[in-house]
């Protein structure tokens, strides 16, 4: 049985590796499917006069005057040499662009991810434990309602109420000009963007945790633990969560991966230069190297996260090791 | 103490106090993104025009007069112009600015496709060079340029050309020779120099230049000029109302009409500076080479079925006006007053009855048997404002009895359907749209012969959206291009506007103004025709409390 589970895990790893190769290929193909001329965007699609000389120069620089296989080879070379390509929109290596933006993104998304994960677990388990009681009915209804709010609306409401009307928080960027205490100033700037993401992403996870936990609430070991007089935390975390954590772990893994791709809405509202706005602009500008580079980074992290989740499930869930799930 | 000793002791203290009072920071909110803050980055290059990098001359937006920036100018004739670098102008690295820098800049731009001293090659053919020759004076401060043809508008065409240092850029002449380092690229001759770029706070800071020849009568009160960069207009307006920034800057545009209403209502410390636009934000352009709009009477009928007052009130600022039949805005050099556009459905009913559309169907559209009177309206779906204009036009015309089929396209496909260059690149014979929603930039209105002719002329290599090719139009623009005096140019412009008014190849939806809100601690703001308030003329006129 355990050998079967091991083989299954190895098969998962193989699938991930094959997916990685497919990601590399699709990242090359996808920008080229987008409609429009990347060179016209580069030299100014709105310009009234387009010079043929400049057009040919950039066509050659981007490798678009060569056959598709040569272009693919150049793309692979840029992945292996670590530059991830050269963006003529920014006149910079894509790796430098990503490096300068990734830290801004992670400052918002990682705290939001941690807070949201902890909150959703504790609230979801609480609702499940108090299933069909007042707390569950009221709380779940509120969660469903909150889940319907789009993130841009949450961000704008927070900005207008807390930054503009009450003047408790800043409106723009990640820090003030010449802050006297840079660390606390940074925290002050991060509160509203982080809160926006937490409010936007927690409700769906709460519902997921609650529903997964409810599905095991009637199992005998839960009844046994309660009849033994164990307290809420022991029952909820040691028995219920331990037997229903797989979906939660999967969502957390996916959320973690999504942290690296940024959130375009929050970055736009709070004027933060992150990965989301970089990708959005790259798509608008048809900046092939930047699209390819960002997709490669975020795709790789996503696959890695999926792999880590599978490995964690294998090690932490004995049912997986016993191959109870066929 | 003897008074004659007291004054020398007090004088330094008094002077120090005066200097400290003069050190003032101006904080501008800019709706733009900047990555590296180097000249090879387009957004940074545009923002620093007239800040660190100077064009030779500028144009006052209020009265259209030209003024000196880097150079004094002398127009000897319609075929010769002379620029003289102003006294003691230096680059920020200490080198003097010379006429060689000007010649170098022209040559540099020619290597990148411009047509100053060389012909520029395009797929459609050759665009002839503007300049025949140039000579530099012995003291190397003046350059005299001889033009190939008479050109009364040569100064207008040089407003956005920023002069760059030859001693730095001479090693980067070819397109594939790379770019100077960040530090070198920031060397300029403007009244400010680059100080810092803090990406975390989105702040770009410049300080007063130590090498600029400030003198009596040419001083700026600004010791530090900071730009706070925003990703959305709402956040920028909130910071303006809160007093965090002094005014806003959006390249070639003012704030939206919605933001104006909010600022007027909520901003007790906010006032507004406005300049009539020389571009047209919103227009419907007819394809005059293709049915149904190859029929002038249908164009006139459609143009008179739109509620322009409503368009102005819905979309534009409080300073906007209903346009005329000639779409060229009133602030344009060579403007001629033509009949104002107005809603008058008698044109449509007359067209309908003359062409057999004698009935209306259940939806209220004119019909001729089974045939409904209709047309396709192409719009760039990525521009939300344009989509709103298209929807407005559709609503307006359908109330009058014409069915409008909206044809939303991506930017790339929109260009393919509406412009010469992109339609030819796609293997088509020309633009295939019937009518489209388009905005004309100020630069585009001014290009080639001017008066927006590049958008109308079927023979233009890139644009040609209206596909007009008749003799009257071509004679008018040829006369504009070959005018040997300003009077001759204006006469030709009037002929062109008469043509526009008679034939309506374009119907502007409204004429608007660029509106900039500012904190009321500022006064005496001046606007440049190209750079708005982010300009040389403003730095030396503005007053700050």
The DSSP string of B99-148 is HHHHHHHHHHHHHTT--SSS-EEETTEEEPPSEEEEEE-TTS-EEEEEES
Q: Give contacts of B201 with chain A, Cβ < 8 Å.
A: 172-177
The closest alpha carbon to B225, from B50, B69, B81, belongs to: B50
Q: Do B122 and A270 touch (CB under 8 A)?
A: no
Compute the distance between CA of residue A175 and CA of residue A52 in angstroms, rounded to an integer.
Answer: 44
The closest alpha carbon to B433, from B382, B378, B387, B394, belongs to: B378
Q: pLDDT tens string for chain A (326 positions)?
A: 567 777 877 888 899 899 999 999 999 999 999 877 788 777 665 555 566 777 788 888 888 889 999 999 999 999 999 899 999 888 889 999 999 899 999 999 999 999 999 999 999 999 998 889 999 999 999 999 999 999 999 999 999 999 999 999 999 999 998 899 999 999 999 999 999 999 999 999 999 999 988 888 888 888 888 888 888 888 888 778 877 788 888 888 888 888 887 788 999 999 999 999 999 889 888 899 999 999 999 999 889 888 888 888 877 777 776 766 54
Q: What is the pLDDT of residues B456-470, one digit of tens each?
A: 999 988 899 999 999
pLDDT surpasses 50 at B105:
yes
How does the average pLDDT of chain A come out, rounded?
87
Q: What is the pLDDT of residues B490-507, one digit of tens each?
A: 999 999 999 999 999 999
Compute the distance between CA of residue B539 and CA of residue A221 in angstroms, rounded to an integer.
Answer: 77
Task: Answer yes or no: are the C-beta atoms of A75 and A28 closer than 8 Å.
Answer: yes
A263 contact partners, CB below 8 Å, separation of at least 6: A105, A108, A109, A151, A197, A274, A276
Judged on CB neighbours under 10 Å (0-12, 13-18, 19+), B237 is buried
Task: Answer yes or no: are the C-beta atoms of A115 and A194 closer than 8 Å.
Answer: yes
CA–CA min distance A164, chain B (Å)? 6
Q: Which of B114, B203, B238 sits opposite A164 (nearest CB)?
A: B238
- Residue B16: the pLDDT is 44
Beta-strand relationship, B374-380 and B435-440:
parallel
The closest alpha carbon to B476, from B498, B444, B447, B461, belongs to: B498
Q: What is the pLDDT of residues B51-86, one digit of tens each?
A: 999 999 999 988 889 999 999 999 999 899 999 999
Q: Give contacts of A164 with chain B, Cβ < 8 Å.
A: 238, 241-242
Q: Which of A48, A61, A175 sits opposite B201 (nearest CB)?
A: A175
Q: Do A174 and B33 touch (CB under 8 A)?
A: no
Q: Do A271 and B127 touch (CB under 8 A)?
A: no
Q: Do A54 and B202 touch (CB under 8 A)?
A: no
Q: In chain A, how many H helices and how many E strands?
A: 15, 2
How does the average pLDDT of chain B come out, rounded?
90
Q: Which of A37, A53, A61 sits opposite B113 (nearest CB)?
A: A53
- Residue A34: the pLDDT is 87
Q: Which of B201, B412, B447 sits opposite A177 (nearest CB)?
A: B201
Q: Do B122 and A281 touch (CB under 8 A)?
A: no
Cis bond upstream, residue B445 (ω within 30): no
Best mutation target among B113, B243, B443 (most A Cβ atoms within 10 Å) is B113
Task: Answer yes or no: are the C-beta atoms of A215 and A207 closer than 8 Å.
Answer: no
B235 contact partners, CB below 8 Å, separation of at least 6: A159, A171, A172, A269, A270, A271
Between A and B, how many residue pairs show a Cβ–Cβ distance under 8 A? 128
Phi, psi of B528 (to 5 degrees): -95, 145
- Residue A3: the pLDDT is 75
pLDDT band at B410 (very low <50, low <70, confident <90, very high): confident
Q: Do B462 and A48 touch (CB under 8 A)?
A: yes
- Residue B19: the pLDDT is 41
As given in the structure block, the two tokens for residue A109 are: 């998304």
Q: Give contacts of A54 with chain B, Cβ < 8 Å.
A: 112-113, 175
Q: Do B35 and A156 touch (CB under 8 A)?
A: no
**% pLDDT > 70, chain B:** 94
Q: Do B198 and A177 touch (CB under 8 A)?
A: yes
Q: Could you tell me if the ipTM is greater than 0.90?
A: no
Best mutation target among B412, B420, B447 (most A Cβ atoms within 10 Å) is B412
Compute the distance between CA of residue B49 and CA of residue B46 in angstroms, rounded to an integer.
Answer: 5
Q: Give contacts of B120 with chain A, Cβ < 8 Å.
A: 51-53
As given in the structure block, the two tokens for residue A316 are: 């932490």
Compute the distance between CA of residue B269 and CA of residue B254 in angstroms, rounded to an integer.
Answer: 18
- Residue A2: the pLDDT is 62
- Residue B397: the pLDDT is 97
Kindly provide the residue ranges of all beta strands, DSSP E only, lying in B268-385, ordered along the sequence. Answer: 270-276, 280-286, 359-360, 366-368, 371-372, 374-380
3-state secondary structure B143-170: EEEEECCCCCCCCHHHCCCECCCHHHHH
Q: Which of A104, A172, A281 sits opposite B239 (nearest CB)?
A: A172
Contacts 24+ apart (CB under 8 A), B75-81: B75/B154, B75/B155, B76/B144, B78/B147, B78/B150, B78/B151, B78/B152, B78/B483, B78/B484, B78/B485, B79/B146, B79/B147, B79/B149, B79/B150, B79/B151, B80/B144, B80/B145, B80/B146, B80/B147, B81/B144, B81/B145, B81/B147, B81/B154, B81/B155
- Residue B432: the pLDDT is 96
* Beta carbons within 10 angstroms of residue B462's beta carbon: 21
- Residue A323: the pLDDT is 63
pLDDT band at B17 (very low <50, low <70, confident <90, very high): very low
Q: Which of B236, B410, B441 sits opposite A35 (nearest CB)?
A: B410
- Residue B84: the pLDDT is 97
The closest alpha carbon to B339, from B325, B321, B320, B355, belongs to: B325
Best mutation target among B33, B172, B201 (most A Cβ atoms within 10 Å) is B201
Task: Answer yes or no: are the C-beta atoms of A135 and A198 closer than 8 Å.
Answer: no
Best mutation target among A39, A52, A88 (most B Cβ atoms within 10 Å) is A52
B130-162: string of b/e by CB count within 10 Å (b at 16+)? bbeebeeeeeebbbbbebeebbbbbbbebbebb
pLDDT surpasses 50 at B32:
yes
Compute the distance between CA of residue B387 and CA of residue B28 in angstroms, rounded to an integer.
Answer: 30
Which comes out higher in pLDDT, residue A89 or B273? B273
A227 contact partners, CB below 8 Å, separation of at least 6: none
Compute the distance between CA of residue A225 and CA of residue A240 in angstroms, rounded to an integer.
Answer: 10
């Amino acid at each position: 049985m355990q050998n079967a589970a091991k083989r299954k895990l190895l098969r998962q790893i193989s699938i991930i590796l094959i997916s990685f190769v497919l990601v590399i290929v699709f990242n090359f193909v996808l920008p080229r499917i987008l409609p429009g001329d990347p060179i016209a965007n580069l030299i100014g699609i709105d310009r009234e006069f387009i010079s043929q000389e400049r057009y040919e120069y950039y066509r050659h620089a981007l490798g678009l005057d060569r056959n598709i296989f040569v272009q693919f080879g150049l793309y692979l070379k840029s992945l292996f040499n670590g530059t991830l390509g050269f963006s003529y929109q920014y006149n910079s290596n894509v790796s430098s662009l990503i490096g300068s933006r990734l830290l801004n993104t992670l400052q918002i998304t990682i705290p939001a991810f941690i807070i949201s994960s902890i909150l959703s677990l504790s609230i979801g388990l609480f609702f499940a434990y108090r299933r069909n009681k007042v707390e569950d009915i009221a709380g779940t209804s509120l969660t469903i309602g909150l889940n319907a709010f789009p993130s841009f609306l949450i961000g704008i409401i927070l900005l207008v109420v807390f930054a503009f009307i009450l003047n408790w928080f800043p409106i723009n960027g990640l820090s003030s000009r010449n802050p006297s205490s840079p660390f606390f100033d940074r925290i002050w700037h991060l509160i509203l963007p982080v809160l926006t993401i937490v409010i936007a992403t927690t409700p769906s996870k709460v519902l997921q945790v609650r529903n997964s936990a409810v599905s095991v609430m009637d199992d005998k070991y839960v009844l046994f633990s309660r009849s033994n007089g164990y307290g809420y935390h022991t029952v909820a975390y040691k028995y219920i969560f331990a037997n229903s954590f797989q979906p939660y772990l999967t969502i957390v893994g996916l959320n973690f991966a999504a942290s690296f791709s940024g959130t375009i809405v929050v970055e736009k509202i709070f004027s933060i230069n992150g990965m989301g706005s970089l990708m959005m602009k790259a798509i608008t500008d048809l900046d092939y190297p930047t699209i390819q580079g960002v997709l490669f980074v975020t795709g790789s992290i996503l696959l890695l996260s999926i792999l880590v989740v599978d490995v964690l499930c294998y090690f932490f869930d004995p049912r997986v090791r016993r191959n109870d799930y066929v | 103490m003897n008074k004659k000793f007291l004054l020398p002791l007090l004088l330094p203290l008094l002077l120090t106090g005066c200097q400290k009072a003069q050190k003032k920071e101006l904080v501008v909110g800019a709706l733009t993104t900047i990555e590296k803050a180097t000249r090879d980055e387009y957004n940074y290059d545009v923002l620093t025009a007239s800040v660190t990098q100077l064009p030779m001359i500028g144009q006052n937006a209020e009265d259209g007069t030209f003024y000196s920036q880097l150079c004094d100018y002398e127009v000897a004739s319609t075929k010769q112009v002379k620029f003289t670098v102003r006294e003691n102008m230096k680059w920020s690295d200490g080198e003097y600015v010379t006429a060689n820098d000007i010649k170098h800049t022209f040559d540099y731009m020619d290597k990148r496709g411009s047509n100053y001293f060389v012909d520029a090659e395009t797929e459609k053919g050759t665009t002839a060079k503007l300049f025949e020759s140039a000579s530099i004076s012995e003291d190397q401060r003046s350059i005299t340029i001889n033009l190939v043809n008479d050109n009364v508008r040569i100064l207008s065409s040089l407003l956005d050309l920023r002069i760059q240092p030859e001693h730095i850029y001479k090693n980067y002449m070819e397109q594939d020779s790379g770019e100077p380092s960040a530090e070198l690229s920031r060397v300029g001759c403007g009244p400010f120099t680059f100080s810092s770029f803090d990406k975390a706070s989105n702040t770009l800071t410049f300080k007063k230049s130590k090498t600029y020849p400030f003198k009596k009568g040419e001083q700026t009160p600004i010791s530090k000029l900071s730009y706070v960069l925003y990703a959305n207009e709402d956040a920028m307006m909130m910071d303006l109302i809160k007093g965090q920034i002094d005014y806003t800057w959006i390249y070639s545009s003012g704030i939206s009409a919605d933001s104006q209403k909010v600022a007027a209502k909520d901003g007790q410390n906010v006032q507004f500076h406005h300049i009539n636009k020389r571009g047209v934000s919103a227009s419907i352009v007819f394809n005059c080479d293709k049915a149904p709009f190859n029929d002038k009477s249908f164009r006139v009928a459609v143009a008179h079925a739109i509620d322009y007052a409503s368009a102005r009130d819905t979309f534009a600022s409080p300073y906007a006006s209903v346009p005329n039949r000639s779409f060229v805005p009133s602030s344009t050099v060579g403007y001629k007053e033509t009949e104002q556009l107005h809603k008058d459905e008698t044109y449509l009913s007359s067209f309908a009855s003359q062409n057999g559309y004698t009935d209306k169907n259940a939806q209220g559209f004119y019909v001729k048997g089974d045939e409904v009177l209709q047309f396709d309206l192409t719009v760039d779906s990525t521009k939300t404002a344009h989509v709103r204009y298209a929807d407005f036009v559709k609503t307006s015309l359908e109330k009058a009895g014409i069915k409008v089929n909206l044809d939303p396209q991506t930017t790339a496909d929109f260009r393919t359907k509406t412009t010469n260059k992109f339609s030819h690149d796609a293997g088509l014979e020309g633009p295939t749209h019937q009518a489209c929603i388009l905005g004309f930039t100020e630069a585009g209105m001014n290009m080639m012969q001017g008066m927006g002719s590049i958008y109308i002329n079927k023979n233009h290599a890139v644009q040609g959206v209206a596909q007009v090719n008749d003799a009257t139009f071509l004679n008018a623009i040829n006369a504009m291009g070959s005018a040997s005096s300003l009077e001759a140019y204006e006469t030709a412009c009037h002929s062109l506007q008469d043509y526009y008014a008679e034939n309506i190849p374009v119907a502007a939806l409204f004429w608007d103004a660029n509106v900039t809100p500012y904190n009321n601690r500022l006064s005496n703001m001046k606007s440049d025709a190209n750079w708005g308030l982010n300009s040389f003329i403003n730095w030396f006129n503005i007053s700050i409390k």
